[in-house]
Amino acid sequence: MIQEQVLKTVISHLDYLKIPYMLAGAIAVNYYGKPRLTHDLDIIIELKTQKIDKIVSLFQKEFYISSDGIEDALKHKTMFNAIHHSTGLKIDFWLLKEERYDALRFKRRIKKKIFNKMIYLTTPEDLIIMKLKWYKDSKIEKHYADASGICQIQKGELDLKYLRAWLSVQSTQKLFERIIKETG
């Protein structure tokens, strides 16, 4: 319930500021795959420098947020976070990178009803692609398990041609084929 309320506030703020976004991470995994607990919210945003003061001004009433942190994230194309004052829930804002795949997955985002609110969400294919990339890079099992759960639940609904093309680009196609064998 706490995550739901905080998420609605964050999305309302982003909509008000006209900052394009899409949910990724555990909320997206829970929507498309097997539910799991999370201690933060992951949101990919397209942020311009001129919005820094506006985002800090709007968010600081309910969140700890640092303009220096945002500026550093913009400079290095990484992420910054905001921490909800009363709950301690952390929001990770991942900046959209200027790479072909990132632009494409952002363009492919879709609006879904989550917690009775229309919210932009990454596609299940793009979530699988990113989860397998993170697993390859970090060997953190939750990423593999998330990708596997999405494949299992979304079986028959996935765009396999798109998936295999991008998995091939990032050299994670063997991981995907292993998941397909494991999930039948």
Predicted TM-score of the model (pTM): 0.92
The pLDDT assigned to 1 comes to 61
The Cα–Cα gap between 3 and 49 comes to 28
CA atoms within 13 A on the CB side of 155: 11
Alpha-carbon distance 149 to 8, whole Å? 25
Residue where a domain stops, chosen among 122, 150, 170: 122
38-42, 76-80, 141-145, 177-181: which has the minimum mean pLDDT? 38-42
Number of domains forming the structure of the chain: 2
Q: Is the pLDDT of residue 177 over 80?
A: yes
Same domain, 118 and 35: yes
For residues 143 and 14, what is the distance between their CA atoms, to the nearest angstrom?
Answer: 27
Nearest Cα neighbor of 45 from 65, 69, 73, 84 is 73
Rg value, the chain, Cα: 17
Residue 48 shares a structural domain with residue 92: yes
Q: How far is CA 150 from the centre of its chain?
A: 14
Query: In terms of domains, do 75 and 100 share one?
Result: yes
